[in-house]
Amino acid sequence: MPCLVALRASGVWLFETNADQTWCTFPQDSGYFNPSAKPFMINYGVENIVVLVEQLKQDNVTLIDEIAEYDYGKFVHVLDPEGNILELWEPTDAPDQADATE
């Protein structure tokens, strides 16, 4: 599973991931990245999104929305200090993967 390691050093959040990289394009006039003025979004797979969001709130990170839950995982969007939108995703365990570990 992709995972995000968030480290706070000198007041800065540093993110490191061991996930595979995926690129997805959107139309140039898409509003999907709002409120960021940037034409891209970075998506990180995380573990325990609820705890991570509470930590980010304590550090006054700008939350764009609340955690949304779907069949394929939980999502929330935040802005980094440079105005980039970050999507945090906690994927759900696929049933075939859960069975393989038993």
pTM above 0.75, yes or no: no
**Cα(27)–Cα(46) distance, integer angstroms:** 27
53-95: per-residue pLDDT in tens?
999 999 999 999 999 999 989 999 999 888 889 999 998 874 4
Express as a percent the part of the chain with pLDDT over 90. 33
How many CA within 13 A on the CB side of residue 66? 1
CATH number of 4-20+42-100, picked from 3.40.630.20, 3.10.180.10, 3.40.470.10, 3.50.50.60: 3.10.180.10
Q: Which residues of 47-68 are buried (b: 16+ CB within 10 A; e: fewer)?
A: eebeebbeebeeeebeeeeeee
pLDDT of residue 44: 86
Q: Where are the domains of the chain?
A: 4-20+42-100
Q: Which DSSP letter does residue 69 get?
A: E
